[in-house]
Amino acid sequence: MQTKARKPRAENAAKRSLQMIEATLRSVARHGLARTTLASVSAEAGLSQGVAVFYFESKDKLLAAAFRHHYEIYRKTWRAAFESAGADPAAQVAAIVRADFDPTVFNRESLAVWHAYWGDSTARPLYADISQEYDRERGEALALACAALAGGDRAAGSEMAAAIDALSDGLWLRAHLTPVWSGPGDSLALAGSLVARHGFEAARRAGGLISAT
């Protein structure tokens, strides 16, 4: 009987924690990190500040948990795309790039959250540490696929992967700063075009796959 009682409590705790985390991300998207408080998050979640303190202890821990959750969504998105691409390195590169412009991660609210945390990562090294932790796995997968496209040349693969990351980052920033939201279509098409021009024949095939629907 005691085990049965614990399960609903655990499920309720997980539900409340997720409510607070999702409310935190909405608050960060609307108000930025500095103006996000336990009060603003609690109001967004429709829960008391006591719930936030009970589960996360402090605003700093809640913000860190929310950032990790945001990265987990991104991680699941790109990994699902990468795994569905099979063993073809061109398809793998294309899948990772397309995932960067999936509406799940490429939308107004999501981009506002990314840039709020990244903009504060110098003052709060924890955010930089979280970014590095999650970005490392994707970076390694992308670099290996790019190296395979370059005939096993790891240096060329790392160069192409770095260029793709810079391209995605730049397109995310441009979309974030543009007053009128136009969706992912133009950004995805531009990414495909620029990857195709990277400098070796296999990249052109990857670029074509990026733009394909």
pLDDT above 70 coverage of the chain, percent: 88
Q: How confident is the model at residue 3 (pLDDT cuts 50, 70, 90)?
A: low
CA distance 152 to 39: 53
Amino acid at the residue 192: G
Residue 169 has pLDDT above 90, yes or no: yes
Helix or strand or coil: residue 121?
Answer: coil
At 184 the pLDDT is 93
CA distance 105 to 118: 15
As a whole number, the mean pLDDT across the chain is 88
Residues 155/69, Cβ–Cβ less than 8 Å: no
Residue 2 has pLDDT above 70, yes or no: no
For residue range 102-134, list pLDDT tens digits in order.
999 999 999 999 999 999 999 999 999 999 999
Cβ atoms within 10 Å, residue 61: 14
For residue range 38-80, list pLDDT tens digits in order.
988 988 888 888 887 888 889 999 999 999 999 999 999 999 9
Torsion, CA 22, CA 25, CA 27, CA 32, rounded to 10: 170
Residue 162 has pLDDT above 70, yes or no: yes
Residue 7 has pLDDT above 90, yes or no: no
User: CATH topology for 1-57?
Assistant: Arc Repressor Mutant, subunit A (1.10.10)
What top-level class would CATH report for the domain 64-211?
Answer: mainly alpha
Q: pTM for this structure? A: 0.88
Q: Where are the domains of the chain?
A: 1-57, 64-211
Torsion, CA 90, CA 73, CA 187, CA 33, rounded to 10: -140
Matching fold, domains 1-57 and 64-211: no
107: left (phi over 0), alpha (psi -120 to 50) or beta: beta
Cβ partners under 8 Å of residue 198, min gap 6: 160, 163, 207
Residue 1 has pLDDT above 50, yes or no: no
Amino acid at the residue 88: D
For residue range 197-210, list pLDDT tens digits in order.
765 555 666 667 67
